[in-house]
Structure formats: C-alpha cells, structure tokens
Amino acid sequence: MSNNSWGGQWTEIKLDAFIKYVRAYLTIMKKYPYWQTIYFDGFAGVGQRVRDRQGQQILDLWEGEIPEDIDVYKGASKRVLEEKDLSFDYYYFIDKDKENISSLEQIANNTNHISRNRIIIREDDCNAQLTKLASALSKKKLAALIFLDPFGMQIIWDSIQQLKKTRSDIWILIPSGVSINRLLPKNGKTKSKKVLEGFFGLSYDEIHNHFYAKREDLTLFGQITNEEKIENPIDKIISLYQIQLKKIWTYCSHEPLILYNSKKAPIFHLIFASNNEKALKIANQIISKRQRK
C-alpha cells in the first residue's frame, strides 16, 4: 500500500469489520421502529495526518514504526454516511479539530439521501459529548451505536462508565501496542500514572499489580527483591480492559480484532461490547472472519 493511501492496511481491516456490523445493526433495528437509533462517532475526522492532530507526544510513542502505518488516519464517518439502503435516525460526529469539522460539514451537506437536520456535527471533546449522550439515552427511547476510534489514550474511563444500563453497543479502538504498552516500562517506573489511571479507571497500584511481578535475586549482598514486567503485556492490557468493560456492558468480545503494522506487530485491538447477546454473536462472527483473512 502506497504512502498516498489512507493509512496502513490495518485501517481498511478495521473499517471493513465495523461497516459490516453497521449494516447488521440497522437491519435488526429496522424491526423495532419504536426505538430511535443514534450513530455516535467520537473521533470523526475524515482523514488527517497524525502529526497535525495529536502532536509530538503521540509521535514519540510511534518511534521506529513504518511511515505508512502512522502518516494518515481515516475515520468511519464518510463510510457510514455512504450507506444508502439503511440509515440511523440521527448521526452525531464529534471532533476537536476545526479543519475536520469543516470537512465533515461539507460531506454532510453533500449527503442527499439523509436529511441534513439528522446529521449533528459538534466541535468538542469526545468525553464531554459521551456524558451528554449517556444522559439522553437514560431518559428517552434511544438506541446508540458508538464508535470510538482514537489514535491514542484520549478516552477517559469516567465518560465510558456513564453508559452503564443504556441501550448501547460500542466498538472501541485500544492503542495496545503503540501507546499503553510503552507507558509501562520494563523497570516499572512509569511517569504516566495519571494517564493510565484515567484510561483504565483503576488506581495505579491495581494497574501495576497486573503488569509487574516480584523476582527474588541472590547477590553477593544477599537476596534482593526486584520487579519485572510480565510476558505478553499486550494480551494483559486487553484482558484488563475487557474486565472493565464487563462492569458496564453484559457482553464483551472475547477475541478482539487485532490490527497489525507492516512489521506484523500488534498495534491496536478493536473491542466490541453490548448488553445484547445476539449483537455479541454478530460482532464475534465478523471479527472471526476478518481475523482469518
């Protein structure tokens, strides 16, 4: 894939799986017209360079990666709006970048098969808008399909947990290999405790205990206790986040969709959660088929 394409191959894999679920979701919800459906995209940029959007901090975490894996990043907004056979009652596109908002406005204005008043575009932080969404879902007969596709660790757990007991399905991209794992150094002395706490919704001591084990070393001065990072930390990152998600939704995909970079190293995991067992079955089938390709 050339550098002019929308990101690496993992981008298309992610969007392909998600759009398949969108179609299945809308097909099913068509049978329940008394529910109004909402599509909520918390990071709805339609295609932007990571350097411009996230700044140097994110780039530092990507040091050593293949350029085509990080250069350009595409959201699902355009793909969702292109679906013509089935549609949501309302679309909410959230982004903090003014240029992205302008691009979204242009796309929405050129989308003829969906009434413009059904497409809501807001320049705001995703976490703030998730709080508003949760409030609306708790009061009205609304069902939401939520797509959270950040490039880093912008999602705060406090905003996620407000969705408990709502009729919502969520797909969330976890930056397992590119951000989280690199904030957990081998020596256990991280400078990002608050970031990790905010992301996982746990105290740093709880997080630390999941990723580090004590080791007894015999030296000339006697036995010394050291800490070492566990093997396969990326797997542990995902299992810990799944545990947290199950505190909010009844079901969570046991096997997330793993997205690899050009070096075949895992960089993201796409996880699904819902209170509907049938929805979980559909998501699992989509993930399983996509992962085998």
Tell me the per-residue pLDDT of 262-277, one tens digit each, with 9 for 90 and over: 788 898 999 999 999 9
Q: Mean pLDDT throughout 184-212?
A: 94
Q: Is 216 within 8 Å of 229 (Cβ atoms)?
A: no
pLDDT at site 285: 96
Q: Mean pLDDT throughout 207-231?
A: 79
Indicate the pTM of the whole model. Answer: 0.87
110 vs 15: CA distance, rounded Å: 22
Confidence of residue 187 (pLDDT cuts 50, 70, 90): confident
Dihedral, CA atoms, 184, 171, 80, 41, nearest 10 degrees?
-70
Confidence of residue 151 (pLDDT cuts 50, 70, 90): confident
What percent of the chain shows pLDDT beyond 90?
A: 66
| Token pair in block for residue 70 | 């990080």
Q: Is 62 within 8 Å of 54 (Cβ atoms)?
A: no
Tell me the per-residue pLDDT of 92-105, one tens digit each, with 9 for 90 and over: 999 998 988 999 99
Q: Mean pLDDT throughout 209-213?
A: 93
Tell me the per-residue pLDDT of 4-19, one tens digit each, with 9 for 90 and over: 333 347 778 889 999 9
pLDDT at residue 244 greater than cutoff 50? yes
Q: Mean pLDDT throughout 199-225?
A: 82
Report the chain's mean pLDDT, rounded to a whole number: 86
Reference 173, options 251, 82, 253, 62; nearest CA is: 253
In terms of average pLDDT, the best of 60-64, 106-110, 264-268, 286-290 is 106-110
109 vs 16: CA distance, rounded Å: 25
* CA separation, residue 229 to residues 30, 59, 213 (Å): 48, 24, 6
pLDDT at site 220: 63
> What DSSP character marks residue 287?
H
Confidence of residue 289 (pLDDT cuts 50, 70, 90): confident
What the chain holds in terms of domains, given with CATH numbers, is: 9-187+233-292 (3.40.50)
pLDDT at residue 63 greater than cutoff 70? no
Q: Mean pLDDT throughout 134-161?
A: 94
pLDDT at site 46: 63
pLDDT at site 223: 65
